[in-house]
Copies of this chain bind each other. A is one copy, B any other.
Amino acid sequence: MSGVVTDATILERLKQLQINHPEVINHSPVKGSSEWSASLSIASPPLSTVNLTKTLLFKPKTAKTATPTPVLILAKDTTETPSAAIGKLLELKELRLASEDLIKEVIPSAATKDDISALALPTPIPETLHLILDSALAQSEDQHALHLTTSTTTILLKGSDIKSYFDSLIQGDGVKIVDFAELKASAPAPSAPAAKSAPKEKPTKATPVAAEDDEEKYNMAIRFKKDEDFSGWYTDVLIKGQMLDYYDISGCYILRPWSYSIWQTIQTWFDDEIKKLGVQDCYFPMFVSNARLEKEKDHIEGFAPEVAWVTRAGKSELDEPIAIRPTSETVMYPYYAKWINSHRDLPLKLNQWNSVVRWEFKNPQPFLRTREFLWQEGHTAFLHKAEAAKEVMDILELYKKVYTDLLAVPVIPGKKSENEKFAGGDYTTTVEGFIPTTGRGIQGATSHHLGQNFSKMFDISVESPDKSEGRLHAYQNSWGLSTRSIGVMVMVHGDDQGLVLPPRVALQQVAIVPVGLSKGEGKNQPIYDACSRLERELIGAGIRAKADLREGYTPGWKFNDWEMRGVPLRLELGPRDIAANTTLSVRRYDNHKSPMPLADISNTVRSYLDDIQSAMLEKASEKFDACLKTITNWDDVVPTLDAKNVLVLPWCEGSQCEDDIKERSKSQSNKGAAEDSKAPSAGAKSLCIPFNQERFGPFPDGENQKCVQCGEKAKSWTMFGRSY
């Protein structure tokens, strides 16, 4: 096919058809009609009532060697476009949504599957392509929204102009018009779901644009399977679970109460704990002068490409650009030098709860990689190295508990390799998590010992207490935990129905749903009253419960709603339950149902929630443990990675060897593991050297154990894996 079509090409084509100055709106990239419509409704001027279109590209089943005969459909967003009926019409078999490869073949300008736009078809249009226009669209004089070449631009065109546009591109009779309403009437019964009818075929990545569910279904179910399209699943779970919403600045997300409350729970618990250790909270400005930022060159080198710069205030250019902090070492330490004048001023232990900005250009991912994120950063200074070293571990233990005790997520504490430690520090400790679905490790939180590197740079020093040693430079630590932890929790516990929240961090722990309702006004009042009484009783006992008395929704709808939002426990209450003085409880994490007596319900529920909390951690730990594979032969490395495991290798701890492991595993796995654009490392890097070496047993070759990669003497069992 010929060259790439640009936005300008499309506008030029329109101009030649006398369609001049159509309205064009720029916005952030959108996935699917809900985001698209939201983006347009907040555009300036707002377009809240715009008619959307949808563009679908299907691939009919053909012999592997045959030229594909793709079908491209442009229709009103509200038009039903059943693929089976279209297949019948065109005499093509088993229409499936096209792969990204095919999309790019048909529309070379489409950078992602969200950028698919029929306007961007290059000419001449190949004869193998079936182009179909919805008659409801072709006949309309209303403005309709289409994308130009990317999902960041919307153009408004009359339906009749759209028809003219395609007619001009196609030789002969012009574009094929299909009346889908008529087609539907003559359609065959829908076939069984694709996954079942064609089990051997790799599931297509159904794009929101192509989703054929109606709006109700769209809202009421997670559209992707966790095992099939993890990235689509993750986003859908977060948005439908009301954890977050997309924002019109890429890489920034809105933390809704459902997720922010989890962060507050973590804050409250962790803040109490560090205060017991003598840490005090403070707040430094978010702005940093260039001079300060650049003070520690090694340290800042990693951050510099991601720093956001303020250069203007109102209409005035600033004399000097001012940075927004990416982290606060160089912001805080000049003041440590000022405040620490005597050994009596040590230890100094400060912590901040704030947000930092790292303007990453990689693919953003909610919670895991965002341009602004919330975190705490602790910065402490000690007279003696031993005190500092102890604190590093005390804090790491608290981080571990945040994961295990609050988020029910297993993590493995250990030390980072030289390659992976914090630049500018002496050593880094970490709690490492694991996402079984993708087989990738993920760093949970880190606690660094900075040694005297920064204190020498910033002259944080005191006269030694006994005067004998002259001036001593302080030993420093820094440690941080961010909202990423929430993302890890979602990835570990969520399932195909949506979020699964551990009780300790769930904003709502119990959903009380009235069931067995009758029609007729007032008839259900006794049930509603019983639900309200139960709610009050539980809330009185400190349990975060809510009775769902919303009218106009069926119990089934409500079950689904609370499941999607991950509420740990559902209590159903109907006439029969009330008569028996019981309620039917349903656990979210394993859907286990059991009746509970209403007598002493608060204590029952409380201990049940505790059990759920432990069981969730146990279940996740078993999964993690099962994926920890001790490997002593290199030949097993890539197959074990490809089977979504974490490697535990006897390793020499050498920097060069780590680089070699990464390269070697990457090159060998290029065919085995598809690159995931959200986490593009196919090679294995070291995750951590676990502190608990004993769990992996002695080396098979004992003292003579060799490093799996380089054959040098192995020093420790070390976790390697693909990672986020």
Residues of chain A whose beta carbon lies under 8 Å from any beta carbon of chain B: 38, 41-44, 46, 48, 245, 247-249, 252-257, 260-261, 263-264, 280-289, 291-292, 294-295, 304-316, 321-322, 324, 334-335, 337-339, 344, 350, 354-355, 357, 359, 361, 371-372, 374, 458-459, 507, 550, 552
Q: How far is the CA of A252 from the CA of B357 in the complex (A)?
A: 18
* Cβ-defined partner of A286 (8 Å) among B255, B289, B339, B355: B355
For this chain, the copies found in one complex come to: 2
Q: Which residues of B contact A245 (CB under 8 A)?
A: 335, 338-339
Q: Which residues of B contact A288 (CB under 8 A)?
A: 249
Q: Which residues of B contact A289 (CB under 8 A)?
A: 248-249
Contacts A306-B313, A312-B321, A350-B257: A44 and B355 contacting too (C-beta < 8 A)? no
Q: How far is the CA of A316 from the CA of B260 in the complex (A)?
A: 32
Q: Which residues of B contact A507 (CB under 8 A)?
A: 280
* Cβ-defined partner of A285 (8 Å) among B247, B295, B315, B335: B247
A257 pairs with B285, CB closer than 8 A: no
Contacts A292-B248, A338-B41: A312 and B309 contacting too (C-beta < 8 A)? yes
B372 pairs with A254, CB closer than 8 A: no
A286-B286, A310-B310 known, 12 other contacts, Cβ within 8 Å: A255-B282, A260-B282, A261-B280, A263-B283, A283-B374, A305-B315, A307-B314, A308-B312, A309-B312, A310-B324, A313-B361, A344-B552
Q: How far is the CA of A308 from the CA of B248 in the complex (A)?
A: 18
Closest Cβ–Cβ distance, residue A273 to chain B (whole Å) = 15
Closest Cβ–Cβ distance, residue A109 to chain B (whole Å) = 18
A314 pairs with B310, CB closer than 8 A: no
Interface centre among A295, A310, A321, A550 (most CB of B within 10 A): A310
* Cβ-defined partner of A283 (8 Å) among B42, B260, B335: B260
10 contacts between A and B (CB under 8 A): A245-B338, A249-B289, A260-B281, A264-B281, A286-B357, A287-B371, A287-B372, A304-B314, A308-B312, A311-B312
Chain B residue at minimum C-beta to C-beta distance from A324:
B310
Chain B residue at minimum C-beta to C-beta distance from A286:
B372
Closest Cβ–Cβ distance, residue A31 to chain B (whole Å) = 15
Q: Which residues of B contact A249 (CB under 8 A)?
A: 285, 287-289, 322
Chain B residue at minimum C-beta to C-beta distance from A315:
B305
Q: How far is the CA of A46 from the CA of B456 in the complex (A)?
A: 12
Q: How far is the CA of A48 from the CA of B253 in the complex (A)?
A: 43
* Cβ-defined partner of A41 (8 Å) among B284, B291, B337: B337
Chain B residue at minimum C-beta to C-beta distance from A350:
B257
Q: How far is the CA of A680 from the CA of B337 in the complex (A)?
A: 37
B310 pairs with A309, CB closer than 8 A: yes
B334 pairs with A41, CB closer than 8 A: yes
Chain B residue at minimum C-beta to C-beta distance from A242:
B339
Q: How far is the CA of A295 from the CA of B43 in the complex (A)?
A: 9
Q: How far is the CA of A458 from the CA of B48 in the complex (A)?
A: 10
A311 pairs with B309, CB closer than 8 A: yes
Closest Cβ–Cβ distance, residue A564 to chain B (whole Å) = 16
A281 pairs with B294, CB closer than 8 A: no
Q: Which residues of B contact A308 (CB under 8 A)?
A: 310, 312-313
Q: Which residues of B contact A310 (CB under 8 A)?
A: 308-311, 324
Chain B residue at minimum C-beta to C-beta distance from A280:
B257
